[in-house]
Amino acid sequence: MKRNITITAITILLSLAIVNFLASRHFARIDLTRNKEYTLAPSTKKILHDLKDVVTLRMYFTENMPPQISALKRLVDDTVDEFRSYSGQNVRVEYVDPSSSDEAQREALVAKVTPVQLNVQDNNKVEVAKIYLGIGVMKGDKREVIPVVINPQNLEYDLVSRIVKLTSDKLPTVAWWGPQLTEEQGALSGQGYLILRKELSERYTIVDVNPKLLDLDPEKISALMVVAPHAVTEDQQRVIDTYVMNGGQVIALIDTVAVSTQMQAMSQTSGLESLLTHYGITIKNDLVMDRSNANALFMGGVVNYQIPYPFWVKLLTQDIDSESRIVSGLDGIVLPWTSSLDVSKAPAEGVTLKVLARTTDFAKVQNFDAGYKLDPDTAGKSMQEGGGKSYTLIASAEGRLPSYFEKSKVADAKARVLVVGTSRVAQDQFVHQFPQDKTMLLNAVDVMSIGDQLIDVRSRSQLGHPIEDLSDLAENIIKYANIAGGVILIAVMAIVVVTYRRGRRRSLQAMYHHS
């Protein structure tokens, strides 16, 4: 008997040792979440598997973490372990506690990792503790840094994007043709583009286009972002057209209506309307409002209040192209004060027109001829009146686009133009409030510049779950079904209980009667 127990114990220990040995070399985890947020994306696994160089992750983490962020530490450790496992030992992990010595603290400072202050309760009193939560990503003498890990959901993208940057021989170049506000001007107005440009600069070399000295070469410029253009001249149109004919990739964020801070609207032209129409996408001189929308902050005297604002159109999953790597997987993209697009014109031979996103079937537009009324009350009443239809909001023209100036010339097959009817989607105040907007634009640049290797990593961290817009009939059915359902459920339960008790009583009566 004792011998059998001993053999069983030895067998269990050997099995555990073998499992641990295999687990240390082959990472495995069952992830049942919708977007697999607790395991690495396939593109991340491929990037790590294909690594040819050794990359070091230097973890500047305080050893004794306060209880309130211990869960964050575990998530970070799990992610780093996956990186190490899938890299074939080409990702090395080193831990440094900057609080342990002056030398370690100086090292963290040189690496641009600074501590964050947290309130920690210890011995029935609250104290302020300095906690380090930074990661240095190093390859040879090149270094990138994540100063503070705030959101573990973004950690995978933050790490893999830095690894790709460190292991790339040369960064692609993105040309920016648009407003060039200073940091102070952008911060004061909220209408700058600093957040988007900062994110782009981590993956690309950003070049500001001088409209007077235009030089757009697709061999040097992987993508051109045209943001809020104004009064574009014919010569400038010709430069853009030549860039497209040579296979250029263009992202055009165009405003046909100017909206002031006082909520006054004025029709305007960018100078690119005719060019884009020639490619197959017409930007209408209107503003779209939809039943699916985001909340906006308004001031009423001394009180600020947030209410649904139909002119801030929120895109739902069923209204975006699930096949597009630019928008697929992004629920809740918000387009503030956007114009509709018309892609009904038959495309030229070799050109494909794609609708990437549209409104719900309950959207309406305000046209310039009728006058713009942007206040939330008027827009809300218009939505309550019912009616409406679906409008195109994001579209692309791809393939052998026809030249606007040289009628017999067509573009290289890889040319692409993406059009959005508002530039506000890229402004700091909106990409901060609606991070899916920034993700969409970053996806667009990635697709046009380097392909889609990082898109599934970035997009799934921005997955939202907006409630599907319902018709009035569907809302009433659900409402009254809930009311009636509760009553019916109680009645059914009562009938079941009464029936059971009666049956039980009859059984007892029959039993005592026979006895």
Residue-number span of the structural domain to which 430 is assigned: 172-460
The two tokens of residue 135 are 């990661």
Looking at the 3D structure of the chain, how many domains does it have? 2
The span from the CA of 128 to the CA of 112, in Å, is: 21
- The answer to whether position 331 is within a domain reads yes
Same structural domain, 156 and 302: no
Is the Cβ–Cβ distance between 45 and 86 less than 8 Å? yes
Q: What angle do CA 484, 486, 488 make, to 5 degrees?
A: 65
Same structural domain, 270 and 416: yes
CA quadruple 346, 352, 357, 360: dihedral sign: positive
pLDDT of residue 429: 93
Helices (H), 26-69: 42-49
pLDDT of residue 471: 61
Same structural domain, 155 and 217: no
CA quadruple 314, 316, 319, 320: dihedral sign: positive
The span from the CA of 445 to the CA of 225, in Å, is: 8
Q: Per-residue pLDDT averaged across 333-350, rounded?
A: 94
For the cut 80, the answer to whether the pLDDT of residue 17 exceeds it is no
For the cut 80, the answer to whether the pLDDT of residue 29 exceeds it is no
Q: Exposed, middle or buried: residue 271 (CB in 10 Å: 0-12, 13-18, 19+)?
A: middle
CA quadruple 47, 50, 55, 57: dihedral sign: positive
The span from the CA of 281 to the CA of 338, in Å, is: 15
Q: 């040995």: which residue's tokens?
A: 21
- The answer to whether position 263 is within a domain reads yes
Residue 358 pairs in a beta bridge with 392
For the cut 90, the answer to whether the pLDDT of residue 16 exceeds it is no
Check which CATH number belongs to the domain holding 41 and give it.
3.40.30.10
Length, in residues, of the chain: 515
Domain boundary among 108, 134, 162: 162
Same structural domain, 134 and 281: no
Is the Cβ–Cβ distance between 467 and 293 less than 8 Å? no
Same structural domain, 330 and 432: yes
Q: Give tens-digit pLDDT for 229-283.
A: 988 999 999 999 999 999 999 999 999 998 887 778 888 999 999 999 999 999 9
For the cut 90, the answer to whether the pLDDT of residue 134 exceeds it is yes
Least confident of 10-14, 374-378, 399-403: 10-14
Mean pLDDT of the chain, nearest integer:
85
**513/340: higher pLDDT:** 340
The span from the CA of 325 to the CA of 321, in Å, is: 9
Same structural domain, 115 and 240: no
- The answer to whether position 495 is within a domain reads no
- The answer to whether position 505 is within a domain reads no
The 8-class DSSP code of residue 231 comes to S
Same structural domain, 120 and 176: no
The two tokens of residue 133 are 């939560």
pLDDT of residue 380: 85
Model confidence band, residue 152 (pLDDT cutoffs 50, 70, 90): confident
Cβ atoms within 10 Å of 453's Cβ, excluding its own: 16
Cβ atoms within 10 Å of 148's Cβ, excluding its own: 16
Least confident of 121-130, 189-198, 346-355: 121-130
CA distances from 283 to 223, 271, 338 (A): 21, 11, 10
Q: Give tens-digit pLDDT for 459-473.
A: 665 555 555 555 667
Q: Per-residue pLDDT averaged across 413-422, rounded?
A: 93
Q: Per-residue pLDDT averaged across 181-187, rounded?
A: 53
Q: Per-residue pLDDT averaged across 15-44, rounded?
A: 68
For the cut 80, the answer to whether the pLDDT of residue 182 exceeds it is no
Q: Per-residue pLDDT averaged across 384-413, rounded?
A: 90
The span from the CA of 399 to the CA of 380, in Å, is: 41
The span from the CA of 351 to the CA of 279, in Å, is: 9
Same structural domain, 92 and 219: no
Residue 267 pairs in a beta bridge with 257
Domain boundary among 440, 460, 480: 460
pTM: 0.75
Q: Per-residue pLDDT averaged across 32-48, rounded?
A: 78
Check which CATH number belongs to the domain holding 263 and give it.
3.40.50.880
- The answer to whether position 200 is within a domain reads yes
> β-strands 55-61, 133-139: how paired?
antiparallel
